[in-house]
């Protein structure tokens, strides 16, 4: 993550104000945006990492100025064009869109809860032996491992170049950095523990607190 969306662990933004009376959807079109995102995803032309990659590829100006669901709906539009389901011209002139049969990818309302609860598991078989073992100390890459500038990765900026300890091994999983482009690359996935002091130094509220991150093998290097 190397663009404006990578805000986790950043200083200076202040506390998030939470209201107990805040509605789930502040505007009626927010419901439609979520529904369209879920329904279009059921067509099977992209995965969750691809949708994240497209959202994260918005310009910094748009990302910071758009409402939450405007980011979602913009990503859906980009994905529909990217996957050749519609054209830019058709989006600009929706009355001219020719209907297409999507029967194989229809998500019926009575199945939504079950489908969302099931998710899209990413565990896959892997023949390669794991490079690291539980209890081993590792260091994360000091720069974004994404294969393109600003591309999708699950290594947040605040955890780059930090020392941690392997506490769990989850076998092989699709690497999000490549899955974001539809490429099924499988790597070993680990849970890595970092001390708050290691991540935030003197700014840590309690230096003995721990942060657990699920990180792929290519994000890590051994500590010698």
Tell me how far the alpha carbon of residue 140 is from its chain's centroid. Answer: 18
> Which residues of the chain carry a pLDDT beneath 50?
1-2
Pinpoint the alpha helices (H) of the chain. Answer: 28-41, 48-56, 60-65, 68-82, 88-92, 112-118, 176-179, 196-200
What are the angstrom distances between the C-alpha of 203 and each of 12, 156, 198, 206? Answer: 12, 18, 10, 9
Task: List, by residue range, all CATH 1.10.472.20 domains of the chain.
Answer: 28-118
pLDDT of residue 30: 96
pLDDT of residue 2: 47
Task: List, by residue range, all CATH 2.30.30.50 domains of the chain.
Answer: 137-222
Residue 153, helix vs strand vs coil: coil
pLDDT tens digits for range 156-185:
989 999 999 999 999 999 999 999 999 999
pLDDT tens digits for range 77-105:
999 999 998 899 999 998 877 777 766 67
CA end-to-end distance (rounded Å), the chain: 27
Virtual CA dihedral for 3, 51, 91, 30, nearest 10 degrees?
A: -90
Virtual CA dihedral for 41, 47, 49, 53, nearest 10 degrees?
A: -60
Q: What is the CATH number of domain 28-118?
A: 1.10.472.20
Concatenating the DSSP letter of every residue in 106-128 gives ---GGGHHHHHHH----B----S
CA dist 175 and 158 (Å) reads: 20
pLDDT of residue 102: 65
- Architecture (CATH level 2) of domain 137-222: Roll (2.30)
**Closest listed residue to residue 191, CA positions, set 209, 179, 173:** 173
The secondary structure of residue 185, as a DSSP letter, is -
The secondary structure of residue 39, as a DSSP letter, is H
pLDDT of residue 1: 40
Residue 46 in tokens: 């992209």
CA dist 5 and 51 (Å) reads: 14
Residue 137 in tokens: 């100390």
């Amino acid at each position: 993550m190397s663009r404006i969306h990578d805000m986790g662990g950043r200083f200076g933004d202040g506390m998030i104000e939470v209201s107990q009376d805040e509605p789930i959807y502040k505007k009626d079109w927010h419901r439609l945006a979520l529904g369209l995102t879920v329904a279009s995803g059921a067509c099977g032309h992209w995965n969750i990492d691809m949708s994240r990659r497209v959202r994260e590829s918005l310009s910094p100006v748009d990302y910071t100025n758009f409402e939450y669901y405007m980011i979602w709906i913009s990503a859906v539009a980009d994905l529909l064009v990217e996957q050749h389901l519609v054209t830019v011209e058709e989006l600009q002139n929706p009355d001219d869109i020719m209907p297409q049969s999507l029967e194989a990818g229809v998500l019926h309302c009575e199945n939504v809860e079950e489908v969302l609860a099931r998710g899209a598991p990413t565990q896959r078989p892997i023949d390669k032996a794991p490079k690291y073992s539980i209890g081993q100390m590792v260091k994360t890459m000091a720069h974004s491992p994404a294969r393109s500038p600003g591309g999708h990765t699950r290594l947040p900026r605040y955890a780059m170049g930090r020392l941690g300890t392997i506490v769990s091994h989850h076998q092989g999983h699709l690497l999000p950095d490549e899955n974001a482009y539809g490429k099924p690359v499988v790597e070993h996935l680990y849970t890595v523990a970092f001390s708050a002091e290691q991540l935030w130094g003197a700014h840590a509220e309690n230096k003995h607190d721990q942060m657990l991150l699920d990180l792929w093998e290519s994000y890590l290097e051994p500590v010698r």
